[in-house]
Amino acid sequence: MVSKKAAVLAFVGMVLMMAGCSVKSVGKTSGEPQSISVFAMDTYMTLTVYDGEQEKALAEAKAEIERLEGLWSVTDENSEIYRLDNSAGTAQVSDETARLIDAALDMNTMTNGALDISLYPVLAEWGFTNGNYKIPDEKRLSQLLGNVDCRRIKVTGNTVKMPDEMKIDLGSLGKGETGDRVTEIFKENGVGSALLDLGGNIQVIGSKPDGSPWKVGIKDPWGEGSLAKVEVTDCCVITSGGYERYFEGDDGEVYWHILDPETGRPAHSGILSATVIGDRGRLCDGLSTALFVMGEEKAEELWRTVGGFDMILITEDNRLIMTEGLADKVSVYPQYGDIVTEVIEDKT
């Protein structure tokens, strides 16, 4: 399945070139890059800034990442999410937590339920929260699913109310929001060129120091390395894929960490990876998870009706589907010439 299927190799390959996610370009910068790595939110994050007040920007970013992790961690007993999950269903939270939950609830509506932060107890049952993987018992699964429905969460100011048995986790969009905060901090410190790699969530500021666009790899979902690259400036490129975290069950099947809230089981929508490209990390992160669940048709419909983002979907049947805004920015590497590239257009 996902890991073993031989990567389809061939020769053709497309050579498409690009302009940028937004037209803004910072031009050349002279500074030497400065980077830091932070382990937070269960992943390695690497931040590289090329100009501005580099040291101050990086120090402030690190402190902010750690502060946000302290608010949203599901395992830290002092976090706001832990307190909410382990309360009788009501808790006071900070502005940033209230806003993030609100955004997650909006995205639940927008995606017709595909993104649901109240899936947490189901994810835990599969062992995706601590690595003790197991295939849940059917009865247990349906019992837990009975408590999944984030529409029952109410956010009023800084008060969050939810049913007693409900537990939430912001893992599907927290890293994107963190990237947005780091971007703000960098800009406040005069940074016009930076690359944020938050465990595979890529967010860039401006263009590369030489004025050219950033080249972001789109991972090969069947194997190692990149299958394509996308050239962007001032943009977020966020991918959700079944290959990121999975286990092989005793039955030989592969089970991955993105679940369909309808079934409580790993989502099998025909998509192996969903990349969302846009201005806000929070939206791109939440949507990448949701599109993976929704599949090609519903993803396309969402793009047409709501829009505000571009996407690249890689399907089980070897297609790479991209929205028209990316047609001149994405190039598939020549050895993946068997991949059929499709551009979807907004006919409305």
Binding stretches for Mg ion (CB under 5 A): 172, 240, 285, 288-289
Residue 30 structure tokens:
């002279």
CB nearer to Mg ion: give 111 or 172: 172
Tell me how many helices (H) and strands (E) the chain has: 8, 19
Residue 308 CA, distance from chain mean position: 16
Residue 280 CA, distance from chain mean position: 11
C-alpha 150/C-alpha 118 separation (Å) is 5
C-alpha 294/C-alpha 205 separation (Å) is 30
Residues 230-269 that bind ligand ADP (CB under 6 A): 240, 244-245, 257-259, 261
Lay out the site mask for ligand ADP across 168-187 (x = CB under 6 A, - = otherwise).
-x-xx---------------
| Minimum CB–partner distance for residue 198 and ligand ADP (Å) | 9
Residues 40-79 that bind ligand ADP (CB under 6 A): none
**Maximum C-alpha span of the chain:** 61
Residues β-bridged to residue 227: none
| Minimum CB–partner distance for residue 173 and ligand ADP (Å) | 7
| Minimum CB–partner distance for residue 174 and Mg ion (Å) | 9
What is the CB neighbour count within 10 angstroms for residue 77? 8
| Minimum CB–partner distance for residue 172 and ligand ADP (Å) | 3
Residue 314 structure tokens:
């890689």
* 117 contact choice in Mg ion, ligand ADP, none (CB below 5 to 8 Å, kind-dependent): ligand ADP
Please count the residues of this chain forming the interface with ligand ADP, following the rule CB under 6 A: 22
Cβ atoms of 238 and 245 closer than 8 Å: no
**Which H helix or E strand runs over 155?**
strand 154-156
C-alpha 221/C-alpha 314 separation (Å) is 8
Lay out the site mask for ligand ADP across 117-156 (x = CB under 6 A, - = otherwise).
x-x---x----x----------------------------
26, 93, 115, 145: which one binds ligand ADP (CB under 6 A): 115
| Minimum CB–partner distance for residue 82 and ligand ADP (Å) | 15
Binding site for ligand ADP (CB under 6 A): 114-117, 119, 123, 128, 169, 171-172, 200, 240, 244-245, 257-259, 261, 285, 288-289, 293
